[in-house]
């Protein structure tokens, strides 16, 4: 595999087609080891070129081959509110498991939006792992939007599930 000019695309060159049967039957190639983008936005188009033996391009496809990654999902294990007294300040405790991988290098964050009848206060505590505060993990409260955001959610790569 070689990198094209600009660095945005990588190219793969097939020097021979040992399995070529005829011009009337489709040819399929399966490429392993490609990484999905870190966004759920559609990818840039894959570009395909067919060249003759001298390297001259005889046909090309430069648009229309795009993919849209499916967003990850979260499974909730438990959620509790203590105390359950009307109008009392309480503590929310919840357990959740992302079903997809999270890279520590991408510094994922978790945002929780509460319903209007529950009011977020100005204080939140980042989650701990084995009773040790996460390195670089912060918890931010937005009392106007009624959300809490935990930054740097994972300290090491998380495989999902």
* pLDDT computed for residue 98 by the predictor: 87
Helices (H) and strands (E) in the chain, counts: 0, 11
**Which residue ranges make up each domain of the chain?**
1-69, 74-151
* Predicted TM-score of the model (pTM): 0.59
Give per-residue pLDDT as tens, 124-146. Answer: 877 776 545 556 788 899 999 99
The model's pLDDT over 27-68, given as tens digits with 9 standing for 90+, comes to 777 777 777 777 778 888 889 888 888 889 999 999 998 888
pLDDT in tens, 79-99: 898 998 888 888 888 888 888
Sheet harboring 110-113: ordered strands across?
110-113, 147-151, 138-142
For residue 7, the model assigns a pLDDT of 58
DSSP conformation letters of 46-86: P-EEEE-TTS-EEEEE-SS----PPP--EEEEEEEEE---T
């Amino acid at each position: 595999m070689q990198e094209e000019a600009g660095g945005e695309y990588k190219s793969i060159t097939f020097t021979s087609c040992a399995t070529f049967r005829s011009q009337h039957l489709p040819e399929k190639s399966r490429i392993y080891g490609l990484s999905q983008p870190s966004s759920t936005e559609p990818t840039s188009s894959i570009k395909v070129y067919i060249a003759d033996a001298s390297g001259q391009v005889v046909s090309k496809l430069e648009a229309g081959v795009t993919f849209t990654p499916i967003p990850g999902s979260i499974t909730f294990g438990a959620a509790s509110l203590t105390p359950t007294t009307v109008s009392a300040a309480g503590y929310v405790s919840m357990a959740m498991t992302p079903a997809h991988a999270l890279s520590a290098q991408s510094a994922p964050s978790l945002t929780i939006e509460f319903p209007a009848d529950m009011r977020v206060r100005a204080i939140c505590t980042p989650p701990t792992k084995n009773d040790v505060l996460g390195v670089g993990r912060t918890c931010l409260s937005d009392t106007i939007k009624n959300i809490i955001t935990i930054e740097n959610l994972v300290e090491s790569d998380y495989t999902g599930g």
